Amino acid sequence: MKINFTKMHGCGNDFVVINATMDLQNWQPSVNEAAFLLDRHFGIGGDQLLIIYPSEIADIKMTIFNPDGGEVEMCGNGIRCCALYAKNHKLVDKNKMTVETLAGLIKPVIEDECVRVDMGEPKLDAAEIPVTGFSGKVINVEPPIIENNFVLPSMNCVSMGNPHTIFFVDDINAVPLAEVGKEIESSFIFPNKTNVEFAQVLDAKTIRMRVFERGAGITLACGTGACGTVVAGILSGKLDNDVTVILDGGELNISWQGEGTPIFMTGPAEEVFSGEVEK
């Protein structure tokens, strides 16, 4: 069976997008199918697989799969691509829409070349993130012990519907991200594993961030990671409420007015090419 797909990216975070609103409504990819589609040598290649289904509670539903075949709750760059695809391919006939995800209802708005997304309120309680061994907020706490010789600074944990662990460093280029990220991702204190972000504060309105994504490895950008990092920076007194996040693949604008309010993410999304693949 042949499946039509579209390759998209947001700040270099790339996705294989499949429209399952018609013929594929009952299709759920197996671990092997997801891994094959995302394989950069033998498949199409991408950081994540996005499948768009009909929804009974929103305009559309987005499901997300990693290269290891695991399904995840949310993806900030993915939601922007999903929204732009839905508008371009006439699944939704408006610029403001609702998208059902495992992290809840997300509300993207298409604005010219960018998509602005109400990402909801970040979760800050250890039990909700989840991270074991802590209670309440997990901000500026002692990090877990890792075997790598790199000395970890204070740890911050935030959930944007998916778990993030953030470290602020003086020199982001000195971080051995692949080795350290992989070890932290699977630390015993994270029962659902975690996404790992390292950030360098350039000034109160600008940070440089790199990410090791859970189940995917190093990627060029992570929208939920950018949101979680800004939340951690604001709570730590390092950042203002509106921040530009410089990623390996581009820039995102993140705005948060503090606890009890939603966080907003604005950034680009782009279709790269379309094709068909044998399932």
Catalytic residue set: 75, 222
Q: How far apart are the first and last CA of the chain?
A: 5
Secondary structure E strands in the chain = 2-10, 13-19, 48-53, 60-65, 71-72, 99-101, 104-111, 114-118, 138-141, 155-159, 163-168, 195-203, 206-213, 217-219, 242-247, 250-256, 263-268, 270-278
* C-alpha–C-alpha distance, residues 63 and 49, integer Å: 8
Phi and psi at residue 268, to the nearest 5°: -85, 165
Q: Where are the alpha helices (DSSP H) in the chain?
A: 31-38, 76-88, 177-185, 223-235
**Residue located via tokens 């606890």:** 259
Six token digits for residue 88: 């371009």
Phi and psi at residue 211, to the nearest 5°: -140, 140
Strand 60-65 versus strand 99-101 pairing type: parallel
**Residue located via tokens 């350039």:** 202
